[in-house]
């Protein structure tokens, strides 16, 4: 063994043994040099003190001493009276000015794989255009470019990947010319992984030279933003507000002047978009107040009485379905990561996992993973806006291979949005399919402003796009 490797091995072995994790070196003598280097690299990234704290949390359990006091949030509703609509128009002006000044950065959470869709690769590479091969990444890029063209700024895109899909994601962007965006304005950074543990607090192994690692939750995206230097890059560019959205929702509108304007007008650290639950039984977390602080209330934490409760207009009181669309101030995020550790609570997920046992064979064990959730940061924002938006226009996630929230349901929702845009613009809708590139138009008013623009006839229907769309 060369001297640097031997020194690293000695140091990491001492660290592991100090915290009762010396078993990770059980197969050391059987490992080839590259495998030893791999294991040491993984161990160097482990915060053993943090893992010891999390093991203690897992052993104690997360038992609340009393039932929390729950209340619905103060919504800026989808259906607005004249006074609220006047306020909305003023907010749009604030949002447009903020965008035009280049003070908004766009953060996409895209660390997942498409395995649940039956797709081998990063989920963002999955193609789902009704008539085209446009991918999830392609839709988001088009919406950012469209917002830049509309409001007169150059969008800067921060794409969070994971160790599992980072290389494939970068290659995908490179092969597609960064979807027409300058490469220097597309910044990739990677989410951290944490070791999983068994119920005795021992690190699990995925192989003789590999820890069993799992993503640290979407809250970890904020720590990754800081640790990667991307947050500092925002400061250098004069970005003040982060528009946060997730890769699986191609209807997300990250450059929304209304949402940005309301958020800025309120002086909020973090704000959220929500959609009305389909019905009381829909199993989705809702934005609401927990013991007087804003957060996300899990479906299972609502009693049947609260789940079914309605206001004077007949709407569900707890209807604000969380769709993971947020605005966060850069200064607010800096406060969350001050001191080098993310100031969010850790959640323990107990699951059956296939790990590598001490005898050198795969075995199913009961284990725990640890996650942070980005919506927990809402509790630390002195003020916040909860904006209700139209589910049909802004939320159609691609999560499952079939059924609800699948590629098929999302294509149908995209088709509905496109047809409604054309009909409201007074454009005949073909019986065949229809697809409208976001760079061509994002609403019926932009569509109508294009005038008599002939679509391109493609297999399956009509495609409306501009020459810039094909970059």
143-198, pLDDT tens digit by residue?
999 999 999 999 999 999 999 999 999 999 999 999 999 999 999 999 999 999 99
Q: For residues 229 and 351, state if they share a domain.
A: yes
Segment among 89-103, 263-277, 407-421, 451-465 with least mean pLDDT: 451-465
pLDDT for 135 equals 97
CATH number at residue 189: 3.90.550.10
Specify the residue for token string 């895109």: 157
Distance CA 38, CA 48 (A): 18
- Considering 384, 404, 424, which residue would you say is the last residue of a domain? 404
Q: For residues 157 and 30, state if they share a domain.
A: no
Q: What is the pLDDT averaged over residues 102-107?
A: 98
Q: Is 42 helix (H, G, I), strand (E, B) or coil?
A: helix
- Tokens representing residue 234 in the block: 């925002």
Q: What is the pLDDT averaged over residues 427-446?
A: 91
Segment among 147-151, 185-189, 306-310, 425-429 with least mean pLDDT: 425-429
pLDDT at 432 over 80: yes
Q: For residues 9 and 107, state if they share a domain.
A: no
In a domain, 55, yes or no: no
In a domain, 49, yes or no: no
In a domain, 369, yes or no: yes
> Checking DSSP bridges between strand 347-356 and strand 362-371, what pairing results, if any?
antiparallel
| Mean pLDDT over the full length of the chain | 94
Q: For residues 39 and 147, state if they share a domain.
A: no
In a domain, 453, yes or no: no
pLDDT for 341 equals 86
Q: For residues 239 and 167, state if they share a domain.
A: yes
Q: For residues 234 and 312, state if they share a domain.
A: yes
Q: For residues 40 and 74, state if they share a domain.
A: no
pLDDT for 290 equals 95
- Tokens representing residue 120 in the block: 């081998």
What confidence category does residue 252 fall into, taking pLDDT thresholds of 50, 70 and 90? very high
Residues 6+ apart with CB under 8 A from 425: 444, 445, 447, 448
Q: For residues 74 and 26, state if they share a domain.
A: no
The total number of structural domains in the chain stands at: 2
**More confident position, 119 or 339:** 119
pTM: 0.94
Q: Is 349 helix (H, G, I), strand (E, B) or coil?
A: strand
pLDDT for 451 equals 85
Q: What is the pLDDT averaged over residues 218-227?
A: 95
In a domain, 56, yes or no: no
Q: For residues 26 and 126, state if they share a domain.
A: no
What confidence category does residue 359 fall into, taking pLDDT thresholds of 50, 70 and 90? confident
Q: Which domain holds residue 172?
A: 70-404
pLDDT for 6 equals 84
pLDDT for 330 equals 98
pLDDT for 62 equals 57
pLDDT for 65 equals 53
Q: What is the pLDDT averaged over residues 48-62?
A: 89
In a domain, 414, yes or no: no
Q: For residues 23 and 88, state if they share a domain.
A: no
pLDDT for 216 equals 92
Residues 6+ apart with CB under 8 A from 449: 441
Output the CA–CA distances (angstroms, integers) from residue 406 to 136, 244, 401, 412, in the order listed: 13, 22, 6, 10
Q: Counting Cβ atoms within 10 Å, is residue 220 exposed (0-12), middle (13-18) or buried (19+)?
A: buried
Q: For residues 126 and 8, state if they share a domain.
A: no
């Amino acid at each position: 063994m060369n001297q640097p490797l031997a020194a690293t091995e000695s140091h990491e072995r001492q660290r592991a043994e100090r915290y009762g994790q010396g078993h990770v070196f059980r197969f050391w003598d059987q490992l080839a040099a590259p495998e030893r280097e791999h294991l040491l690299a993984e161990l160097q990234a482990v915060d053993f003190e943090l893992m010891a704290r999390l093991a203690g949390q897992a052993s104690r359990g997360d038992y609340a001493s009393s039932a929390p006091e729950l209340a619905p949030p103060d919504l800026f509703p989808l259906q607005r009276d004249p006074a609220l609509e006047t306020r909305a128009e003023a907010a749009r002006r604030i949002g447009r000015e903020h965008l035009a000044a280049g003070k908004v950065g766009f953060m996409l959470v895209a660390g997942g794989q498409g395995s649940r869709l039956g797709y081998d690769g990063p989920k963002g590479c999955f193609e789902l255009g009704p008539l085209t091969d446009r991918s999830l990444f392609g839709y988001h890029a088009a919406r950012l470019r469209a917002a830049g063209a509309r409001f007169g700024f150059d969008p800067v895109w921060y794409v969070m990947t994971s160790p599992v899909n980072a290389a494939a994601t970068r290659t995908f962007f490179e092969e597609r010319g960064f979807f027409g965006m300058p490469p220097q304005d597309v910044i990739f950074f990677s989410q951290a992984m944490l070791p999983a543990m068994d119920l005795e607090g021992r690190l699990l192994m995925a192989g003789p030279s590999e820890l069993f690692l799992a993503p640290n939750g979407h809250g970890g995206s904020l720590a990754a933003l800081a640790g990667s230097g991307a947050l500092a890059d925002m400061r250098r560019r004069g970005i003040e507000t982060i528009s946060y959205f997730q890769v699986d929702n191609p209807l997300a509108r990250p450059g929304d002047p209304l949402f940005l304007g309301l958020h800025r007008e309120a002086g909020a650290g973090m704000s959220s978009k929500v959609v009305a639950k389909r019905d009381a039984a829909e199993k989705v977390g809702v934005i609401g107040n927990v013991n007087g602080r804003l957060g996300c209330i899990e479906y299972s934490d609502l009693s049947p009485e609260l789940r079914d409760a309605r206001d004077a207009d007949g709407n569900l009181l707890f209807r604000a379905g969380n769709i993971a669309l947020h605005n966060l101030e850069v200064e607010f995020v800096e406060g969350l990561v001050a001191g080098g550790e993310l100031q969010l609570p850790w959640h323990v997920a107990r699951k059956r996992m296939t790990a590598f046992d001490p005898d050198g064979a795969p075995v199913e064990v009961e284990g725990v993973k640890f996650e942070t959730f980005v919506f927990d940061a809402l509790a630390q924002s002195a003020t916040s806006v909860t904006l209700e938006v139209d589910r049909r226009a802004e939320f159609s996630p691609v999560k499952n291979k079939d059924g609800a929230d699948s590629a098929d349901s999302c294509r149908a929702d995209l088709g509905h949005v496109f047809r409604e845009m054309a009909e409201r613009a007074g454009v005949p809708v073909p019986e065949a399919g229809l697809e409208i590139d976001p760079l061509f138009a994002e609403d019926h008013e932009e569509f109508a402003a294009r005038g008599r623009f002939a679509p391109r006839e493609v297999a399956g229907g009509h495609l409306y796009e501009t020459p810039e769309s094909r970059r």
